[in-house]
Structure 1
Amino acid sequence: MPKSKVRKKVAVTAASSSAQANSNSYTTTRVKVAGPSGPVYIGIMLGLMVLGLLWLVVFYLWGSQIGFMNSIGNWNFGVGFALMIAGLLMTMKWR
């Protein structure tokens, strides 16, 4: 099946009220559409989510053997979830 043509979005605004009274003429204004996100943005977004997951897995399995993880204790949950939430928040700006 052939792919249809992609058209730019056009916002329609009413011309002046006097021109509208005489005829149904409208002026068109081009709307600037943001392009897709770059590969670096997507890499950072996915990287933060995976890093948060790995942080929690490492804390569960080897947290008592790693010095700095053992010293911050249950704050490791906050670090892991904060990394994952930062990645999830980035998905809202992803195009």
Structure 2
Amino acid sequence: MAESKVRKKAGARKQRDAQTSTPRVKAPGSRRWVPPVFITVGLLGAAWLVIYYIAGRQIPFMGDLGNWNILIGMGLMASSFVIATQWR
């Protein structure tokens, strides 16, 4: 039985695509370090804020920083979300 023209075209297209396709690049390796670092930095930022609000005036270096403590705590939490984007 004769093949239809559609099949012939599809077969020729597959051969042409196989010859002209570029080799696939392998995805980067596992990033197992991301979840522990993400959680650690996020919890560190939250702990910084909690400690500042509870005992900030009694800790010498935190009292000297004043409202910069809020920026430090929020910055740590924001950086943890930036780190989380590296996880695949």
TM-score in terms of structure 2 length: 0.73
Structure whose CA Rg is larger: 2
Q: Is contact 2:34–2:86 with CA below 8 Å preserved after alignment?
A: no
Whether 1:74 aligns to 2:67 is: yes
Unaligned residue ranges in structure 1 (runs of 5+): 1-19
C-alpha displacement of 1:69: 0.4
Q: How many residues align?
A: 73
Larger proportion of strand: 1
The answer for unaligned runs of 5 or more in structure 2 is: 1-8
Q: Alpha-carbon deviations, 1:5-42, whole Å to 9, x = none?
A: xxxxxxxxxxxxxxx9xx2121153331233311x332
Aligned to 2:83: 90
Structure with greater contact order relative to length (CA < 8 Å, sep ≥ 6) = 2
Q: Which runs of 4+ in 1 moved over 4 A?
A: none
CA deviation after TM superposition for structure 1 residue 88, in Å: 0.5
The structure with more helix, counted as a fraction of residues: 2
The alignment yields a C-alpha RMSD, in angstroms, of 1.7
Scaled by the length of structure 1, what TM-score is found? Answer: 0.68
Shift of 1:44: 1.3
SS across alignment from 1:42: helix
Quote the Cα distance in structure 1 between the aligned partners of 2:68 and 2:42: 17
Q: Does the aligned pair in 1 maintain the 2:52–2:62 contact within 8 Å?
A: yes
Alignment of 1:13-52 (within 5 A): 23-24=12-13, 25=15, 26-27=17-18, 28=21, 29-38=23-32, 40-52=33-45
